[in-house]
Structure 1
Amino acid sequence: MLEDVRQVTIKPVITQCIKPGTRVFTDEYHIYTRLPDWGYPHKTVCHGRGEYARDEDGDGFHEVHANTMEGFWSLLRSWLRPHRRISQEKLPIYLAFFRFTHNVCRIGKALLGALVA
């Protein structure tokens, strides 16, 4: 007999890439509402109300935002634009290279040591 589909638990992709317990900041797209059920503390900003960052504790620092990831994707799209017709097989290589160079920029002068290591 067929197993009842409602009882099958599918492990979400996020658990393969992000450690459970990691706080996740997103917009209010409905797909993210299940993050707490999967073990991810979740905070949102509502772009529809003109909210792009929120200071929750009143210290002047806007802790809740999705700007970092949105900025990363914007840079990635700009970087990929000249490389038209990238095959699906090679896309992970392009993404890994971009991620490496993006993270190296944060390392700064330690780049040479990172490359040698």
Structure 2
Amino acid sequence: MGLNVSNRQISLELGVSEKTAQTMTEQMRTEIKNNRPKTTLSGEVEFDEVYVVSGHKGHPASVKKGRKPRRRRLKGARGRGTLEKEKPPILGMIQRGGEVVIRMLENVQQKTIRPIIEKYVAKGTTTYTDEYDIYSQLNNWGYERHSVCHSAGEYARDDDGDGFCEVHVNTMEGFWSLLRSWLRPHRGISQEKLPAYLAFFRGGTQYQKMGAWIT
């Protein structure tokens, strides 16, 4: 699992059926998700979100009634998605030099992200975001916010004049790049199972390999 091989390959190497291999890996991912250690981010924390196309693979009872069948592979709607549109957003919060927290969301609204931010990020933390307006209330929620405007071609900025561009979300965006690459071999993960995969990626071998890069 740490090598991110398929259940079929795991079944061949362990000499068990593919169904058994799937049951074993699902159980391990679920246990990791259910036993995540308490995390508090502080200091300097970057916020960003990514959208993953994810339907109800293997869960036909969860498919919305009346939805037309798909003729080809699952495609999410353009732009920012929601859980209902089968393109759930994932909120990422990464402490520079520290840990990362990622959570699948129902939608990208302030009332959705606020409880998560307040649960995992200490008050008074310096935060860095892009220009997306869901983060516009961070100052009112007790955080110091600095942002870059990607739509204007700005990706990093030096606010204090020390020659170092400290205002950016490049660390979180680099994390997303690794996550996308890690998810690709699984060829579609259902909404029901995606949180367990995210927890495994965050807390498993792949995250440990990233340690030196993050710090």
**1-side partners of 2:202 and 2:116: how far apart?**
19
Does 2:192 correspond to 1:89? Answer: yes
1:42-75 deviations in Å (ceiling 9; x for gaps): 1001112211001122222111101111111121
- TM-score, normalising length from structure 2? 0.42
Q: 1:84 to 1:19 in 2, by over 3 A?
A: farther
Instruction: Tell me the distance in 2 between the aligned counterparts of 1:17 and 1:84.
Output: 31
Match of 1:29 among 114, 127, 132: 132
Percent identity of paired positions between Structure 1 and Structure 2: 64
Assess, with a 3 A threshold, how the Cα gap between structure 1 residues 71 and 106 changes in structure 2: closer, same or farther: closer
The answer to whether residue 208 in structure 2 is matched with residue 104 in structure 1 is yes
CA RMSD of aligned residues (A): 2.0
Aligned length: 99
* Structure 1 segments unaligned to the other structure (5+ residues): 1-9, 109-117
Tell me how far apart the structure 2 counterparts of residues 55 and 83 of structure 1 sit (CA, whole Å).
40
Alignment partner of 1:78 out of 181, 205, 214: 181
Cα distance, 1:107 vs structure 2: 4.4
User: How much has 1:78 moved relative to structure 2?
Assistant: 1.6
TM-aligned CA deviation for residue 106 of structure 1: 4.7
| Unpaired segments ≥5 residues, structure 2 | 1-110
Q: Match for residue 54 of structure 1?
A: 157
Aligned to 2:60: none
SS of residue matched to 2:146: strand
Find the partner of 1:19 among 122, 125, 129: 122
SS of the residue 2:115 aligns to: coil
In the alignment, the residues of structure 2 paired with residue 105 and residue 40 of structure 1 have an alpha-carbon distance, to the nearest angstrom, of: 30
CA distance in 2, matches of 1:82, 1:95: 14
1:3 equivalent in structure 2:
none
Higher relative contact order (CA 8 A, sep 6+): 2
Distance 1:94 1:71, change over 3 A: same
Q: Secondary structure at the match of 2:136?
A: helix
- Displaced runs of 4 or more, over 3 A: none
Partner-residue secondary structure (3-state), 1:73: helix
CA–CA distance in 1 between the matches of 2:164 and 2:171? 14
What is the TM-score of this pair, normalised by structure 1? Answer: 0.72
Give the counterpart letter for 1:52 in structure 2: Y
User: Could you tell me how far 1:28 is from its partner in structure 2?
Assistant: 0.8
